[in-house]
Structure 1
Amino acid sequence: RKVQFFGDFFVCGTKSRFVPHFLHLPQLHLVQRRAFAFRQRTLLDVNKDVAELHTDRRNSSHKKHAMMARLNHMARLFLWITLPVVVIAAKEAHGKILDFKETSFSNWEQNVTYISSTGYHARGMAPMYDITNRVLDLFIGSDAIPEGYIIVSDRSVALGPKVQNHEYGDLAKHYWGILLVVSLAAIIVVLTPIVGFCFCCCRCAGACGGRSQPFDKKHDTCRRVFLGLFLICTGTGIVFGVVVAFVTNSYMQQGVENATTSAREAVDDTRLFLKTTSGEINHLLVRNYNELSHHLHQMLNETATVTMTRLDEASNATSLTQLNNFVQTLPQVKINLERLKELTNDLRTNASQLNDGLRGVKRELLHSLSNCAAAACREVEEQYQIGTLDANGYDYNQLPDVTNTIENVNMLITGKLMTSLADGQQVIEGVKKSINDVIGENIPRVSLAINEAGLAMKDVSNEVTKTIDRISDLSGNYTYKYLDMSDDYIREYSVYRYYAGLAISSVLLLILLCVSMGLLCGICGKRPDGYGDDCCNKGAGGRFLMMAVAVIFLTLSLLTLAALIQFLVGLVAHRAVCVSLKNPSDDQIFNHVDRLIDLNTVMYPASSNVRGKSGKVRQYQRETTPFRISQVIEACHGNKAAYEVMQLRNFRDIGEIREYPETYNIDGLLNDLIKSIEIESNLEILSSEARGEIQKLAASELNEFPAHKFEQYLSDDITQINLTELALKLEETANRIPNSPNMNEIRDSLKNQALHLRTYQTSLVTPMTNGKNEILSLALDLDKTLHFNSDSFEEAINKFLAETDKAQEFINQNGTEFVRQVISELTTGFRNEITSYLELVITTMENKVGRCGPLSNVYNSTLVAICNRVVDPFNGFWAGVGWCVLIFIPTIILCVKLSGLYQKSDPYPGPLVESGPKHKRRNKKYERRRNSRDPRDYYDDSNSPGGSRDNRYSDMAPNFNRSDGNNNGLVPSSPSNIFYITAGHSPTAPAVPEKTPQSPGGRYERKQTPKSLRRPYRSQFF
């Protein structure tokens, strides 16, 4: 039973002295459900214990006491645990009185289109650019300058200790690759003219391939094949270099010409971004604050109204207002009652007249229809039951008479009731007026503080936007001037660079053409012939090759020097510009630039004290952190807000606006408003006289207004038969009666009665119906007005009295505290709105306003315009030229070798010339003398031409004579014979000479050919 009691206590919410009045809240439902579950579990435990009692009777008494103790302990524990939870929940539910509507801020919406593009197509040169950049990175390394040679501090550059101590070993080790390239290039530049001059002299002297024997040696064919193959490979390499040179020179010119266009697009996008950011800041700090200010002023203007409304609701002072409103409507109630009396009297009169008329009509109709023998007459009499025409069943004399009620209301109106209630209402209005006056005195000061804070926010917006505009001018107005100058210089001078590159490329192409033509003629052409040679024979190929050698010797130094200069310039541009700008945070050069330049000095120069619109003096110069260029780039790539990117906190810390409520004394004014609220504690809303008048009202005739009787007696229809319908039926019946002398009177009687029925319907039934409906409406309205949603008028009036007493008690005891609480919640909501806006401003400024993605795109597009479209083709050009320079060195050797092989006119004569003994060693003096003579004056046996030479000249039919004149005009048959040509003689076959002591080594005796009869001598440089 105890469990049942405590469970029901919390489940049903039974009132007791332990439970406060605010426990009857929706928040208690969860607690009640938990209590119900607890009770059910406990009852199950009790049932289980009872079952155990039945099974074990011997221990029943002990178990019973234990069970009761357990139940008492559990119930007591449940009370101590649950009650505080319920109290806390109820207090939290009653904690807040007002529910505020947050300020609705408009969003910044503007579609912005940026034109900078990072799109780039290398057009087939991407692998070349990548290889070139890798080579440059290999030369320069990760650090451009070794440590200890340069010291960069804030705004100053100084030489390092290693320079002062002349320690350049680390510098040489770091740049050994570049030094090696410069040394090799210098060697080539210096030695090429010297080697070319020496080679020219050597060729002119007949050496170095200047003179060649007319026939091949044993392995010359193989040499021609392999040397030609090697020269084809080098020529292919030259083709690559030439293509690279022409293409990169053209691409570089396009990049240079479009560089200023890309720069203008970048500047335009930058200024557009800054303008957009400025507009966004102005929207946030000015327009959004105006929206907040409008909402705050609206809250201030509604403070008194909201306070009074909440006070009325809390104190139930509205009951007095409702009662007063009802009393004020008593004159209208009197008018309605008088109208109700009038309508009731009219209804009775009309009902009496209608009864009289219907009785006469019934009498005439019964007489006429009884004398009528037609079937239509009997049909009408049976269908409409004419005999009951006047039997309507209503008795309007039973309707209530409201005369006494009207007199009673009249007495209340003329009495002191209305003035008494007006006095009580005036007391309530006086309390409201005093509160309204206090609030009205403080609102203008709060509004003024809000306006001053708004001016301060506008000053902040103006300062930040001016700074951004200054940055925009710095990046725009000055830049355009220099871009125009750059356009002039590019139009005037870039063409010379282009033509210089085109000339270098043309030289390479000329060399390539010479090599190509030399290979083409040397591989596909015939052997050279002194008499009627083809234009593209092997000899022409040799001359093309020597022309290529000559051009190489003449231009190699210039090409090497140009490639070296471009290599050094491209290396510096690649490392100092492209690599540094692509990775500024981890780059040594950019770190030096960061330490050298502080953007605070450029973007936020020190300003003097400036007085803003709000009239307050601000000091702009503050302790700032260094502002580096790399920070801007990294922040932009991270798409951070402009406040973070441009380090605007160094100029204006946006977090300072958190102090505005205190700076402009908004919090102090709101606290003063709360403290100024004071309500009298001895108010008397209703006097004893007013209370007596109200009690008289409760006991008046209005308490017994019989609205239900009106509804009871007026719910039926006035007539049971529709008179208009019956009149139409009578006219129809009259028309159907046959024409006869005795039926005419009946026909006229029916028509007359139909006319009477129409008249009664129009003049009596219709007004009675309208009056009845109006009576019902008035009765229902009066009943609703008098009951006030209560069972009776007296109960409603007594309820109003009780609520008025409670309102008076509440205002006297808790009025001041309650109004202060309401004002406190208003001011708290006021502060929360301001704080929320300030936090919105700070968060939006730091994280959302002016996200730097567009500037990152501008930065990347500028890198593409500079590095990908200018620097990469520039480096590709010197790479192509340098590649050709390196290939030219083996090309010279191959061309000289192949040129000598291509000049030979006769093939290898065969193995017969190798049968004789080998030459003995001759002394140096003989060799010098032999080399100084014409090699055609004597021939060794092993080098004499074969029979193919005879066939070659057989078509010319020459005369061959032995040197001794004894050849008998025969063609030589032995390959070891020597001939000379004489005009008018046939060749003579000499006898084979025998070895003599005068001719050791198997040499033949020979005579020197006269110079006038020798073959044309071919000794030339090309």
Structure 2
Amino acid sequence: MALVLGFLLLLELCWDTSALGLLSSTEGSDVLEFELPATNYETKDTYKAGPIGVLFQMVHVFLGVVQPNAFPEDILRKILQKKFDFSTEYEKPENVVLTLKIIYYEIGIIICAVLGLLFIFLMPLVGFCFGVCRCCNKCGGEMHQRQKKNGTFLRKYFTITLLVICIFISVGIIYGFVANHHLRTQIEKTRKLADSNFKDLRTLLNGTPAQINYVLSQYAATKKKAFSDLDNIKSLLGGGIHEQLRPKVMPVLDNIKAMAEAIKETKEALVNLNNTLKELKESTSRLNTSLSDVRRNVEQSLGDPMCAVPPVATTCNNIRVSLGQLDDNTDLGQLPSLDQQIDNINDVLRTDLSSLVQEGYKSFNDIPEMVQNQTTNIISDIKRTLNSVGSDIENIGQQIPIQDKLSNFMGYINDTETYIHRNLPTLEEYDSYRWLGGLVVCCVLTLVVVFYYLGLMCGTCGYDRHATPTRRGCVSNTGGVFLMVGVGVSFLFCWVLMTIVVLTFVVGGNVEKLVCEPYQNRRLFQILDTPYLLNENWKYYLSGMVFNNPDINLTFEQVYSDCKENKGIYTTLKLENSYNISERLNIQEHAENINNEFQNLNVSVGNIVLLDEAGRRNLMDFNSSGVDAIDYNVYLAEMGKAPTKVNLLSFANDLEAKADHLPQGSLKQSLKSNAQALRTIHRDQVVPLEQSMSTTHQSVRELQHKSGGLGTKVVHVISSLDSAQDFLKTRISSVIVEESKKYGNTVIGYFERYLQWVKVSITEQIAACKPVATALDSAVDVFLCSYIIDPMNLFWFGIGKATIFLLPAIIFAVKLAKYYRRMDSEDVYDDMENGNIGFHRHHSTQTV
């Protein structure tokens, strides 16, 4: 019944819903990501029995030994097809064969049940005969114990054996108590289990309409992202074109700009060098004049008569010879003028090359703006197309046939829950009676084994090996009485206990083997999926119920497996046979519609001129200005020379030293005065001239470095310019097409990704039916098998074990009682005259 109820729930849900789960979308910088968060359910999809599961497994092993036959699929199929009827036509051959198959399958259980029935019928009969026999002083009823040589051994053997048997009985009783309590505990959890399953089903159903609307409403986020890209076509498409052209164009413009700066810098350097050369020429001219004046003054001083005197004459001659060193060391006047090159560059600079380059920059950087201006109308058309796609998606949401039927299914769930809650108190009440009955059964067995334990304890503790059978103590006698009471109670109740064991064994064992095990290994579903089984006109019963088309391959096993894996209802029930979402949500058709609009996107950026003819001519004029033909080595050679042939300070010091060796007079004073004049010339003219020449030398080197290879650079710039201009002329259209396609694919990709996600979500993820499979598992595997059948089987296993062991316990208790009870008579041994030993019976005067 639970299995049928579970499948009815599954069928109703499948018939009524194609529900969607909750959606979460996050918008990234480039792409849209959609995520479907998992719904949390209360009911666990697995059940663990805990430590008692070991005992349940032990019972399963026992049942496997008793019933090792494979699951009788053929028998059940014929029974379900009503091809076997016990009431009519029993003698038909096929019915006979089927009956034999049933007997063969149930042979283990039948044998055990027959043995149990023999126990039930024979034990009362044996007990009655035993009691009558005892009353007639037979069967050990005579209160006399024969003395035997091995009596001590037999007493110990019977004691130990009965103790071991009592332990086995006690273990069985414990199993009974545990199973009885566990079953009661699990029944108490039934209400919570049912509430949890119904809550999960409501969670699945109540969230479905809102989830569908939410998923479809996410089109707004997709459209928003697409509209944002369309509004930013200037930066996305225009910027993309610009970035594709940048590596080819920008280096050329940067080189032209650098060349314009180089022309200006070269002109400034030439002008500064030319002016510096003029200043240096004037400075060297003044230096020559000053040195000539000093040389003439010294020569006039050397005309003094004292120079004729021999000692002085030598000094004067030396001075006169050294005067040739007082002269200019440079020839700056012979350096060529730079006026012509400067004039040429000035002619070049009449054309503002920098402004022409800026126009090239502006023409190139205006590409994004031109793209935006040319695509205004096309963008509006694309937006209209995207809005129409949104309308189609909204219509799909309205066409999914679930809203009207969900309320009916919710009512069905409410009715089922009401029915369960109304009958649960009755179940709990009956279970309380069952629990009390089980407790009574366990207590009866406990009473029996307690009598045996008391008999063993009193008999063992009160036994006196020196006492004769007629003189045994009260404690020992009480132990024997307890043993016999246990035997009597065993005969009274063991057949009742065995009756309970047989009934629960037949029911529990068959349910375990025919329902629980095949449900767990899904063999039961395979039987239900047999073509034409449940309905002789339908090949597949489930598809006949769902689609009214029994030829669709929809099976119970497949539906259960998919729900167990938490797949969506759409895929699980193959709802494409009634509502094909792929046809209604044609991704390719929508993508083609949008793509057709983008194909009308015709962008033209016009004729981009990086540098016009004036700028090109300007570069050529600079190349022919002669700057790179200047012989800078000549200038460097002159600037590297010292201004004078001799160091004036050394010359002045030497002149003054020679004057110090002359006698006092006008000659000496005149020479010292000229020496001081040389020092002044060195300080005021030579030192500044040296600094200017050094600075000019460095400027010439820098100018040489800057102007070196200018012609080659100009040629390279012009060549790069021609290459870039040719690239723009021949390749810009293909770049525009490529970037337009990439831009269109990006926008279309948003919708393709969204529509594909919607399709996948509806077909595979949304409305995951795991709560349905969990509810079915809860009804069959948990409630029926784990809550009821497993404890029931453990109960009959334990009680049956204890009851069976009562039989040897009776035998050994009866035999052992003879050694504990006080006898009415005993054997007395006498010595005979001929040496033989004899005995005679001695009657005790005590009353037993």
Distance change in 2, residues 1:133/1:335 (3 Å): same
Pairwise CA distance, 1:877: 2.0
User: For each residue in 1:73-130, what CA deviation from the matched residue of structure 2 results, as whole angstroms up to 9, or x when unmatched?
Assistant: xxxxxxxxxxxxxxxxxxxxxxxxxxxxx97675869899998766654575366233
Task: Check the 8 A contact 1:635/1:645 in 2, yes or no.
Answer: yes
Task: Check the 8 A contact 2:123/2:491 in 1, yes or no.
Answer: yes
Matches for 1:454-473 after TM superposition, within 5 Å: none
Task: Check the 8 A contact 1:273/1:855 in 2, yes or no.
Answer: no
Is the aligned partner of 1:895 residue 2:813? yes
Residue equivalent to 2:587 = 660
Distance change in 2, residues 1:642/1:186 (3 Å): same
**Pick aligned residue for 1:444 from 365, 380, 383:** 380
Q: TM-score, normalised by structure 2?
A: 0.61
Matches for 1:740-779 after TM superposition, within 5 Å: none
Is the aligned partner of 1:634 residue 2:561? yes
**Pick aligned residue for 2:442 from 505, 512, 535:** 505
Distance change in 2, residues 1:685/1:331 (3 Å): closer
**Pick aligned residue for 2:493 from 555, 564, 573:** 555
Q: C-alpha separation between the residues in 2 aligned to 1:464 and 1:753?
A: 108
Pairwise CA distance, 1:881: 0.3
Residue equivalent to 1:130 = 60
User: For each residue in 1:549-586, what CA deviation from the matched residue of structure 2 results, as whole angstroms up to 9, or x when unmatched?
Assistant: 22223432442343344334533552465313311255
Pairwise CA distance, 1:704: 0.7
Task: Check the 8 A contact 1:289/1:454 in 2, yes or no.
Answer: no
Pairs aligned (count): 742
Q: C-alpha separation between the residues in 2 aligned to 1:141 and 1:696?
A: 97
Matches for 1:730-749 after TM superposition, within 5 Å: none
Task: Check the 8 A contact 2:529/2:556 in 1, yes or no.
Answer: no
Distance change in 2, residues 1:352/1:659 (3 Å): farther
User: For each residue in 1:702-738, what CA deviation from the matched residue of structure 2 results, as whole angstroms up to 9, or x when unmatched?
Assistant: 3413342468469949954999xxx9x99xx9xxx9x
Is the aligned partner of 1:880 residue 2:820? no
Matches for 1:271-286 after TM superposition, within 5 Å: none
Matches for 1:8-19 after TM superposition, within 5 Å: none
Task: Check the 8 A contact 1:148/1:161 in 2, yes or no.
Answer: yes
Pairwise CA distance, 1:335: 6.5
**Pick aligned residue for 2:829 from 946, 954, 957:** 946
Percent identity between matched residues is 17
The residue matched to 1:789 in structure 2 has which SS? helix
**Pick aligned residue for 1:582 from 499, 513, 520:** 520
Residue equivalent to 2:5 = none
Residue equivalent to 1:535 = 474
Pairwise CA distance, 1:545: 2.0
Task: Check the 8 A contact 1:340/1:778 in 2, yes or no.
Answer: no
Q: C-alpha separation between the residues in 2 aligned to 1:751 and 1:461?
A: 107
Matches for 1:587-598 after TM superposition, within 5 Å: 587=525, 591=529
Q: C-alpha separation between the residues in 2 aligned to 1:214 and 1:258?
A: 58
Amino acid at match of 1:670: N
Q: C-alpha separation between the residues in 2 aligned to 1:283 and 1:777?
A: 71
Pairwise CA distance, 1:879: 0.4
Task: Check the 8 A contact 2:238/2:369 in 1, yes or no.
Answer: no
Task: Check the 8 A contact 1:292/1:837 in 2, yes or no.
Answer: no
Matches for 1:347-362 after TM superposition, within 5 Å: 347-352=276-281, 355=284
Residue equivalent to 1:704 = 624
Structure 1 vs Structure 2 CA RMSD: 7.3
Amino acid at match of 2:829: G
Pairwise CA distance, 1:548: 1.0
Task: Check the 8 A contact 1:136/1:571 in 2, yes or no.
Answer: no
Amino acid at match of 2:498: T
Is the aligned partner of 1:1015 residue 2:845? yes
Q: C-alpha separation between the residues in 2 aligned to 1:552 and 1:365?
A: 159
Amino acid at match of 1:512: V
Pairwise CA distance, 1:228: 6.0
User: For each residue in 1:184-243, what CA deviation from the matched residue of structure 2 results, as whole angstroms up to 9, or x when unmatched?
Assistant: 656655776676566556655655544433545899889867766764564454244234
Pairwise CA distance, 1:391: 7.3
Distance change in 2, residues 1:543/1:429 (3 Å): closer
Distance change in 2, residues 1:514/1:357 (3 Å): farther
Distance change in 2, residues 1:227/1:301 (3 Å): same
Pairwise CA distance, 1:504: 3.1
Distance change in 2, residues 1:543/1:749 (3 Å): farther
The residue matched to 1:884 in structure 2 has which SS? helix
Structure 1 gap ranges (5+): 1-101, 152-158, 368-384, 607-620, 910-944, 951-972, 981-1013
User: For each residue in 1:644-694, what CA deviation from the matched residue of structure 2 results, as whole angstroms up to 9, or x when unmatched?
Assistant: 4575656865544772341x4x424534654685999xx9999xxx99x76
Amino acid at match of 1:631: Q
Q: TM-score, normalised by structure 1?
A: 0.53
Task: Check the 8 A contact 1:598/1:626 in 2, yes or no.
Answer: no
Residue equivalent to 1:670 = 595
Amino acid at match of 1:895: A
Amino acid at match of 1:556: C
Distance change in 2, residues 1:249/1:323 (3 Å): closer
Task: Check the 8 A contact 2:601/2:740 in 1, yes or no.
Answer: no
Matches for 1:184-263 after TM superposition, within 5 Å: 185=116, 200=131, 203=134, 209-213=140-144, 215=146, 231=162, 234-249=165-180, 252=183
Amino acid at match of 1:149: I
Amino acid at match of 2:450: L
Q: C-alpha separation between the residues in 1 aligned to 2:336 and 2:32?
A: 68
Task: Check the 8 A contact 1:445/1:669 in 2, yes or no.
Answer: no
Structure 2 gap ranges (5+): 1-28, 297-324, 661-667
Pairwise CA distance, 1:308: 6.8
Q: C-alpha separation between the residues in 2 aligned to 1:254 and 1:504?
A: 18
Larger RCO: 1 or 2 (CA < 8 Å, sep 6+): 2
Residue equivalent to 1:938 = none
Residue equivalent to 2:26 = none
Task: Check the 8 A contact 2:180/2:439 in 1, yes or no.
Answer: yes
User: For each residue in 1:802-841, what CA deviation from the matched residue of structure 2 results, as whole angstroms up to 9, or x when unmatched?
Assistant: x77x988x69xxx999977886787678778876886687
Q: C-alpha separation between the residues in 2 aligned to 1:179 and 1:397?
A: 134
Task: Check the 8 A contact 2:330/2:642 in 1, yes or no.
Answer: no
The residue matched to 1:946 in structure 2 has which SS? strand
Q: C-alpha separation between the residues in 2 aligned to 1:354 and 1:111?
A: 95
Q: C-alpha separation between the residues in 1 aligned to 2:690 and 2:195?
A: 96
Pairwise CA distance, 1:547: 1.1
Amino acid at match of 1:507: V
Distance change in 2, residues 1:974/1:841 (3 Å): closer
